Amino acid sequence: MRLLTRLAPILLAAGSSVGLFALNPLPSNFTNCILSTGSGTTCSIPSGTYDVTSTLTVERSNITIEGSSITGTTLRRASASLQAMIVPASGVGGVTIAYLTIDGNRYDSSLGINCLAANQGWGEIDWRVFVSGTRTYDESQTGIVTIHDVAIINAPADGVHLGGYASGGASTISYSFIGTDSSTSHTPSYATRGTGLVLWGTSAGSYYAHYYYSGTAGLSVFGSNQIIYGNEFFQNRYEASDGSAGGGQLYLEGPIYTSYATATSVARNTINGNNWTTPSSGTLNGCSVSNPNNNGVAGIEMSGYYHGIYNNEISQHSGDGISIGGGNEAGSITITTNNPWVPGDTPQYISYNGHFGIWVWGTNQNSGDPNQHNVQGIELDQLYMANNSAHDVWFDYNVVGVGGAPNSAVGFSTTGTHHMCGTSGWSGSSSPPPPYITNPGTYNGTPSNSSCP
């Protein structure tokens, strides 16, 4: 008995044996604080690991939920029936969540939730409300939330669903870690089974957050005017838990879906694929994987309209650096090394990707799909590209159709001086430029590999 008593804290800290020990519930002064009858503006959680068996519904607006530190306070799932850990009541907003870790506990064998199918539709923090039994991203139902200095580890579904809107503000996540802890030793052992962050609503944002080893995208964008700034993406689409090997670490949803992404700003992010390709078969994190066609992973996969891709470092992907269109409409998109937030910012490279640096493709190539999806109005401005395995920029199929994108620009515009080395520059397949590129500008040719960064 004495030996078991001494080992118990170690086993609990590992997060693998909740079923063997008495649960450690959250303090009642915290759970009472978030109720509509609570008082005070700060609902604090002391240091420690606390077992959560039912969803924590925040019933009051304009409060702060905070732990002692990102490493000091942990909320851990202790029930297989528990979906989201923290949700708002209808209309609740102005809430801050900070300085804690949420452990989804997917690897606890007593819960049986390690290998759920992707797209379960819920996150550990899910800032949407139930309307008629269904979670909704209707902005009229949800106020804003600010999440900072939070780690989400071991999530059996998605990490965070973030939405909501209020006059003068929008929901944000910043300085947080999804699929990894806050240490510098990152491994897939804390991986999110589904998507790291799903952005809904209007003008929400992710700033200086870290997305590691998500089973699908690190971040998926729906809604309008979202901002993705200064984040780190590393080896997402690790397990390919949606059964679709390939895809992108950052995914901008296209108009075949409701509330697709429009006018997204993606700036100064570091997106590194670590040359990862999901294995053709076998297991990862105890779950079966399949990639018989050896599909590679892209940095950014996007459709939709009016996006700005500003000075991102995109490197070491087994697939493309950026993939535009393909099975969906896309248009009025700018890709540039200019950063509108930091004039004169040091240019970042799209480099060392295993396929094209940028692949622009229009016609849906999925077998049996009769729809033709056009891509038009793409501006490539002062690109810095190096050592991509195929062409730096490849225009494919129906890239200049007459329908689809709601803009007046037809075709492609390239401006400024493009710095490309280590591979060939523009090219295309059935409709190669020119004449499909207008105002081609100049680029500095193809210097030798010795001059590449």
Per-residue model confidence (pLDDT) at position 77 = 98
Lowest mean pLDDT among 97-106, 173-182, 248-257, 280-289: 248-257
CA-closest candidate to residue 332, choices 417, 263, 402, 398: 263
pLDDT, greater one: 196 or 169: 196
Residue 8 pLDDT exceeds 50:
no
Q: Using CA atoms, how far apart are residues 355 and 367, in angstroms rounded to an integer?
A: 22
Q: Give the tens place of pLDDT for each residue, 36-66.
A: 999 999 999 999 999 999 999 999 999 999 9
Domain extents in the chain = 2-451
Q: Which two tokens stand for residue 43?
A: 């609902």
The residue type found at 73 is T
Output the average pLDDT for the chain.
83
Per-residue model confidence (pLDDT) at position 380 = 82
Q: What percentage of the chain has pLDDT greater than the value 70?
A: 77
Q: Give the tens place of pLDDT for each residue, 60-82.
A: 999 999 999 999 999 999 999 99
Per-residue model confidence (pLDDT) at position 81 = 94
Record the pTM. Answer: 0.89
Per-residue model confidence (pLDDT) at position 251 = 96
Per-residue model confidence (pLDDT) at position 163 = 84
Q: Which of 128-137, 327-336, 422-431 has the highest mean pLDDT?
A: 327-336
* Domain over 2-451 is classified CATH 2.160.20.10: yes
